[in-house]
Structure 1
Amino acid sequence: MNKHFEKTRKTNHIARPAARVLLIAFVGLLLSGTTLAADTRVITDMLDRQVTVPERVERVICSGSGCLRLLVYLQAQDRVVAVDSAEKGGLPFSVEARPYAVAHPELQALPLFGEFRGHDNPELIAALSPRPQVIFKTYAARDGGAESLFAKTGIPVVGLGYGDLTRNRQELDRSLRIMGQVLGIEDRAGAVIAFFDGLAADLERRVKTVADADRPTTYIGGLAQRGGHGFASTEPAYAPFVFLSARNVAGKLAKSGKGDSHAVVSKEQLLMWNPEILFLDISSAKLQAGANGLEELRSDPAYQALTAVKKGRVFGVFPYNFYTQNFESIFANAYFIGKTLYPGAFADIDPMTRAEEIAVFLNGGPAFAAINQGYDNLGFAKIVLP
């Protein structure tokens, strides 16, 4: 009996320190968890997912069309640690026409993490050094894979939309605000949104009193849409025309619902409309034969029969879609188109000067003159069609 008691006493003597060690370790884990919780926060992304991100986010990557453009607008390009193939010459265009990329050529030198349009490579992402703390992903609802990418990399994925400047403006604003919240730069996100609001209001104010009789019919052709297209390619809800209340002959083709609907117009239909003034998206001017809008205008008998072509009323504007919409180009084009359609309402505007002012605010540097050189200075110019 005494021996049993002595054995039990010794066992308990050994067990008590072990229990204390386990207790201390458990308390340490609790404290550690509390510390981690204090260093993180939860945000709601565009997919209505609750995403836990670090309290301070200094290193990110941007996946998906236009994602890096939005980040540059927020002046956070110095936090990018890698880029997709679009930033390394992977787009199907021979001339760069993204103002943010022109203003920040240093982005090309960053490591590669995947292909453009959101085709990420988890292995490349996991191997990045320094490692990103957050992955921003535009068009997340369409492209999917946010949860899968998080599972494969262990890096929080914040799903975003992209939106546009007209019917999906709320989606654009919300995406900017979410990025600003994650990065701790909400004030800059608000400033960008206010800047867009101010430009739109200025354009609408200028044309408000233009009489219907002084509004010529017009058409924009050669718009890119997931690749380049010829002069038949247009946007019935082309944002510059919307801001200017222009008489867009293709406007009746606009589809109900969300998004700027893309359309391909037959030559016969365009001849029937016979718009008074034509605009060419100059992205089309560098495409191969059969898709080159400029060459079509110069050589196709159907287009040559248009009154605007005969009278020399064809003008070049900067690329609208280039790895999705160039918002700075859209506003810049709106001022040039406004001055072309309603010169009296824009008498105080030099379109190229205004374009560079927009680029400087959004991207931190000018870009349009450099882009124009790559397109033979067709932007904001009357196009000669012999």
Structure 2
Amino acid sequence: MKKGLVLLLVGTLVFSLFSSVCYAEQKIVDAMGRTVSIPDKVEKVICSGPGCLRLLTYLQAQDRIVGVDDMETRRTQFDARPYALANPQFKEYPEFGSFRGHDNPEQILVLEPQPQVIFKTYATMGHDPIELSQKTGIPVIVLNYGDLGGNRSQLFQAVRIMGQALGQDKRAEEVVAFFESAIQDLHDRTKDIPEDKRPSCYIGGIASKGPHGYQSTEPGYPPLAFIHANNVAYSTGLKGKALMHSNVAKEKIVDWDPEILFLDLSTLQMGDQAGGLYELKTDPAYAALTAVQKGKVYGVLPYNWYSRNYGSILANAYYMGKLIYPDRFEDVEPQAKADEIYSFLMGKGVFDIMNESFQHLVFKPVPVK
């Protein structure tokens, strides 16, 4: 009798220990301030919303996805998402919903294997994260995608939250340190250049939820801010949304008459008869600009493509620095620098692939005459 009781107690203890191992959980506080319970070891995930899979790739955990949104499976002439170009296998995964967070719970529930966690950026876009978790029974971790400007802390928080959930804390800190180091390097190279040695610049053609023409800009455009350039669209006192996407009047650009013009090559998506390049070539107002007359119009990597391309932002900053202040960037070869950045973030250089997609105009003078 006593022997049987002992065996029962031992068995119960073993089962309890086994269960605690199998069902071990960790608590994650997400960007909404919610405490989310997830498995202690997360091996299967999906990423919902603009830029979410980009962050997972930075953390070297892209092999843990079990599905993608339909942005990843599209086959188009243009693609300026380095994380996707470095991982063409994304196109072969099953879809769980539409882009911009429009997740389909039914599609998620038939994924095999099932995701243990859903990461979601831009929580107010597409499917509500709380409702999505209720419908699927899968925990949803909300992330603020942030930016490299005034919302940099949100980006770094997102990287760290995702890293904690995946057991990739060390890599998360490496990614944060990489961005901080690059931004500091750009600052140190240019911080003491006198105002009268900073030529006026303007960047046009920036995408925002799709391609735009040359009037589309960003007053707080980080690559120019990092190198203390004289961005004519920026003015002291601008804050928050005023620093983000803006369509400026053509007359304003003519009045500014910047010494150097940059063209965000995402505008080429608009075709041969529209977009920033077409406008610079055909509009008499732009034809009169000093930079157009002198051939000082230069192509740069797309800033936004399913949200902000953080690696390309750094690459553009080094190219712009080299162009505007060549003596401060003598050791930098922009194309090689771009692939150095991409290789760290995604394990592969993809500059040549993007350059080919964008008519070999990346980091080159753009023919507008």
Fold shared, TM-score > 0.5 on shorter chain: yes
Query: Which residues of 2 match residues 86-165 of structure 1 at below 5 A?
Result: 86-89=71-74, 94-143=77-126, 145-165=128-148
Instruction: Give the SS at the match of 2:71.
Output: helix
CA contact (8 A) 1:82 1:112 kept: yes
Match of 2:49 among 64, 74, 89: 64
Query: Which residues of 2 match residues 1-386 of structure 1 at below 5 A?
Result: 31=16, 35=20, 39-89=24-74, 94-143=77-126, 145-252=128-235, 255-257=238-240, 260-288=243-271, 291-386=274-369
CA contact (8 A) 1:280 1:314 kept: yes
Q: Which amino acid aligns with 1:380?
A: F
Q: What is the CA-CA distance between 1:368 and the residue it aligns to? A: 1.1
CA distance in 1, matches of 2:169, 2:241: 27
Q: What is the CA-CA distance between 1:256 and the residue it aligns to? A: 2.1
Q: Which amino acid aligns with 2:33?
A: D
Q: Which has the higher helix share?
A: 1
Q: What is the CA-CA distance between 1:259 and the residue it aligns to? A: 7.8
CA distance in 2, matches of 1:259, 1:233: 13
CA distance in 1, matches of 2:45, 2:135: 16
CA contact (8 A) 2:215 2:247 kept: yes
Instruction: Give the SS at the match of 1:190.
Output: helix
Instruction: Give the SS at the match of 2:171.
Output: helix
Q: Percent identity?
A: 49
CA contact (8 A) 2:103 2:127 kept: no
Unmatched runs of 5 consecutive residues or more in structure 1: 1-23
What is the TM-score with the length of structure 1 in the denominator?
0.89
Unmatched runs of 5 consecutive residues or more in structure 2: 1-8
Q: Which amino acid aligns with 1:82?
A: G
> Matched residue pairs, number?
360
CA distance in 2, matches of 1:244, 1:229: 25
Q: Which amino acid aligns with 2:24?
A: D
Q: Which amino acid aligns with 2:313?
A: I
Q: What is the CA-CA distance between 1:288 and the residue it aligns to? A: 3.3
Q: Deviations over 1:261-289 (max 9, x none)?
A: 11111111111111000000011123136
Structure 1 or 2, whichever has the larger Rg, is 1
CA contact (8 A) 1:45 1:178 kept: yes
- CA distance change for structure 1 residues 79 and 260 in 2, over 3 Å: closer, same or farther? farther
| Root-mean-square deviation over aligned CA pairs | 2.2
